[in-house]
Amino acid sequence: MAGKAGDFVFLGGSDAAERTDKENLVIPKMEESNEVSPGEWNAYDIINRNDSLLVYVNGLLQNMCTMPVPGKGHIGLQSEGLAIEFRNVFLISYN
């Protein structure tokens, strides 16, 4: 969803400590949208370390949570109704 990069949307039983209102499925991003213009590439750094999850969009910390559930599993990349392209996707272990 354009303008919403960084929002956490909790579906399928996922959860986090910061989600205190279980009726609300969304923890909104922390800052105003800093997405680039359509047709340009957005850069995301998603860091899962020590029971915390941080999401940077174009270098700006947009969201974070602790004790994410599930703690392990698949990583999904999705689009909201239109075609999308991904490039330079890296998984790095800091063990």
For residue 79, is it within any domain? no
Residue 10 forms beta bridges with which residues? Answer: none
Nearest to 16 by CA among 47, 41, 57, 53: 53
Model confidence pTM above 0.85: yes
Number of domains in the chain: 1
Residues 48-63: pLDDT tens digits? 888 999 999 999 999 9
For residue 92, is it within any domain? no
Residues 10-65: pLDDT tens digits? 999 999 999 999 999 999 999 999 999 988 999 999 998 889 999 999 999 999 99
Cβ atoms of 55 and 44 closer than 8 Å: yes
For residue 48, is it within any domain? yes
For residue 60, is it within any domain? yes
User: Residue 48 belongs to what domain range?
Assistant: 8-33+41-66
